[in-house]
Amino acid sequence: AQSVTQLGSHVSVSEGALVLLRCNYSSSVPPYLFWYVQYPNQGLQLLLKYTSAATLVKGINGFEAEFKKSETSFHLTKPSAHMSDAAEYFCAVSHRQAGGTSYGKLTFGQGTILTVHP
């Protein structure tokens, strides 16, 4: 079984401040980890993913995340927040299906709404 916990359903930062969105996972097999973002009135889109290569993963719009196995974490960061970063962010976990090539189903966390103040 696999699960994801996102700490904090709402995070508020000032424009230009550090963004830190927390994600902890639970998985009985080596996980694949993802961050998706949902802007208002749009569908979810992939921000970045970890699939057992480099532990520090860079995504779109200046975001990055670091896989820490010892802490079972995959926190999302951005050095300087922009107003356009306001959205809901979802962490998700998956794993390669046995005998297959698919990554199988994604299990999502409950989401963190990021608000950016001027």
Partner 1 sequence: EAGVAQSPRYKIIEKRQSVAFWCNPISGHATLYWYQQILGQGPKLLIQFQNNGVVDDSQLPKDRFSAERLKGVDSTLKIQPAKLEDSAVYLCASSLEPSGGRLFFGSGTQLSVL
Name the residues that contact partner 1, by CB under 8 A: 4, 9, 32, 34, 41-46, 49, 51, 90, 92, 94, 101-111
Which lies closer to partner 1 via its Cβ, residue 15 or residue 72?
72
What counts of helices (H) and strands (E) characterise the chain? 0, 11
| Least distance from partner 1 to the Cβ atom of residue 17, Å | 25
Which lies closer to partner 1 via its Cβ, residue 43 or residue 118?
43
Write the CA distances from 24 to 16, 28, 38, 74, integer angstroms. Answer: 25, 14, 20, 6
| Least distance from partner 1 to the Cβ atom of residue 99, Å | 13
> What is the spatial order of strands in the sheet that 19-27 belongs to?
2-7, 19-27, 73-78, 64-68, 56-58
- Among residues 35, 92, 84, 44, which one has the least CA distance to residue 64? 35
Which lies closer to partner 1 via its Cβ, residue 62 or residue 111?
111
| Least distance from partner 1 to the Cβ atom of residue 9, Å | 7
